Amino acid sequence: MQTITVPAWQAITILAVPSTLLFTIITALLLKKRRRKKKIEPPVMPTAAQSMPRLNSAVHNHLIFQQIDAVFNALCSIIETERIKLKTLIQPLNTDPGPELSVPSGPGAPSAFATSQTGQNISQTIANLLDNGVTPENIARELGLSQTEVNLAIKMRPVTASEKGNRLETVA
């Protein structure tokens, strides 16, 4: 048998050439691909199918805003009607009770003093009694009014100069 001796540098060269060629080819292909991506492509106009989601979301937002406005307008109108009703209930009655209204008599009935006065006089009486230190419960018992009526009259009474800094004013 014959033996061939190959120097080491030749063996390394023979093995390194194909791998170097493969590395060079792969690198060249990758660079070419990267250059293609860098080229400026003309802008693509969106198709109708692509623009529909934006249109649908805009329409949806507009409808939501309309519904919210409708709810707020309804709430405002309800609040306004209730405010008008409250204002008519709070305004003092300037008319005397007619003859058709009968006043009950007995131990639990209102006193003649309370029934003969108009709403303005009752409010003044409640304010005077409150200034004298009478509790709202005793005022209600003395005048024959309900506790809530007395409390409402106390809240609605005009503010004096001495109470101006101590009392919180509310607006209906």
Domain ranges of the chain: 107-172
Q: Which two tokens stand for residue 96?
A: 């005397």
Report whether pLDDT(103) > 70. Answer: no
Report whether pLDDT(165) > 60. Answer: no
Three-class DSSP category at 153: helix
**163 pLDDT band (50/70/90 cuts)?**
low
Comparing 47 with 151, the larger pLDDT belongs to: 151
Report whether pLDDT(26) > 90. Answer: yes
**172 pLDDT band (50/70/90 cuts)?**
very low
Report whether pLDDT(95) > 80. Answer: no
Q: Which two tokens stand for residue 104?
A: 């009950």
Comparing 140 with 53, the larger pLDDT belongs to: 140
Report whether pLDDT(27) > 90. Answer: yes
Q: How many CB atoms lie within 10 A of CB 140?
A: 18
Q: What is the mean pLDDT of residues 98-125?
A: 54
Q: What is the mean pLDDT of residues 136-154?
A: 86
Lowest mean pLDDT among 15-29, 47-61, 157-171: 157-171
pLDDT value of residue 142: 87
> What are all long-range contacts of 14-21, with beta carbons under 8 Å and residues at least 24 apart?
none
The whole-chain average pLDDT of the chain stands at 75
> How far apart, in Å, are the Cα atoms of 150 and each of 50, 56, 85, 136?
68, 58, 19, 6
Three-class DSSP category at 146: coil
Report whether pLDDT(116) > 90. Answer: no
> End-to-end distance of the chain based on CA atoms, in angstroms?
119
